[in-house]
Amino acid sequence: MLRPNTIVIFLGSPGAGKGSQARLLSREYSRPLISIGDTLREISQQRTSVGRKVRRALASGELMDNEIIGKVVRTRTMSPDCGSGYLIDGYPRNLDQAEWLDGWAAHQQNKVVAVHLSIPKELVFTRTLGRWNCRACGSAFNIDTHPPKIRQSCDSCENQLEQRIDDVAEIVELRYQTFESETIPLLSYYELGGRLISLDGQKPIESVFNDLQMALNLVTT
């Protein structure tokens, strides 16, 4: 069970399965999912100063500016569909962002719960460098572990699959290093508050989701 007025965030290295679990949870409990990565990739296509700034950050693997991301989260979560809580994939990424989100959650009379998906570093590259995503329906595939039936075509809606612009070896390594230095300290932050769920992300997707549901039932009741 996922109680109302709960914000669930997902922490983990690149390729840990955050997006997959967030989409499953969103469908199961009819809670809106805010994918920060997808939103920023859309902004990066804009011919504006912000679009160019976001595009440079995505291409370099650097963390995004706190002010830009805060504005994205605040604007999206003021929508009526977020009134009973929501899910965020890709935020917060550092302590400043976590503290900002707690303040925003308090303003909305919500509670933040963090889900940490753990995988070994070698699996980060296996999963990340081989993944393809469907922008139309959000389905995810991997050429090594979960290939589509037809190359570069989505099994669900038959739209063309795409690779993320930051899914190249050099960028993945930088993102992993950033995760270790900036995001891992968040685990202690949420654990001290009794708001951390830690799961083994190496398990099959369905098994991880079952673990997630059981853990949420304990944490949010």
Determine, yes or no, domain membership for 161. Answer: no
Domain enclosing residue 26, as ranges: 6-130+167-212
Of 97 and 128, the one with more pLDDT: 97
Distance between CA atoms of 29 and 151, rounded to whole angstroms? 32
Determine, yes or no, domain membership for 146. Answer: no
Domain count within the chain? 1
Cis peptide before 148 (omega within 30 of 0): no
Q: Which residues contact 154 (CB under 8 A, 6 or more apart)?
A: 134, 136, 137, 139, 141, 148, 160, 161
Q: Which pLDDT belongs to residue 221?
A: 59
Q: Of 28-42, 134-148, 161-175, 188-202, which has the strongest mean pLDDT?
A: 188-202
Determine, yes or no, domain membership for 139. Answer: no
% pLDDT > 90, the chain: 50
Determine, yes or no, domain membership for 145. Answer: no
- What is the 3-state secondary structure of 145-200? CECCCECCECCCCCCEEECCCCCCHHHHHHHHHHHHHHHCHHHHHHHHCCCEEEEE
% pLDDT > 70, the chain: 96
Determine, yes or no, domain membership for 59. Answer: yes
Contact call for residues 15 and 128 (beta carbons, < 8 A): yes
Determine, yes or no, domain membership for 72. Answer: yes
Determine, yes or no, domain membership for 53. Answer: yes
* Mean pLDDT, the chain, whole residue set: 89
User: Which stretch of DSSP H or E encloses residue 140?
Assistant: strand 140-142
Angstrom distances, CA of residue 46 to CA of 41, 50, 55, 80, 197: 9, 8, 9, 26, 36
* Assessment of whether the complete model's pTM goes beyond 0.85: no
Determine, yes or no, domain membership for 218. Answer: no
Q: Is the pLDDT of residue 217 over 80?
A: yes
- Reported confidence tier of residue 48, pLDDT bands at 50, 70, 90: confident
Distance between CA atoms of 94 and 39, rounded to whole angstroms? 19
Quick one: tokens of 13? 């290295």
pLDDT tens digits, residue range 75-123?
Answer: 889 999 999 999 999 899 899 999 999 999 999 999 999 999 999 998 9
Return the ∠ at Cα 94 (arms to 91 and 100), rounded to 5°. Answer: 70
Domain holding 83: CATH number?
3.40.50.300
Mean of pLDDT values over 152-170: 85
Q: Is the pLDDT of residue 58 over 80?
A: no
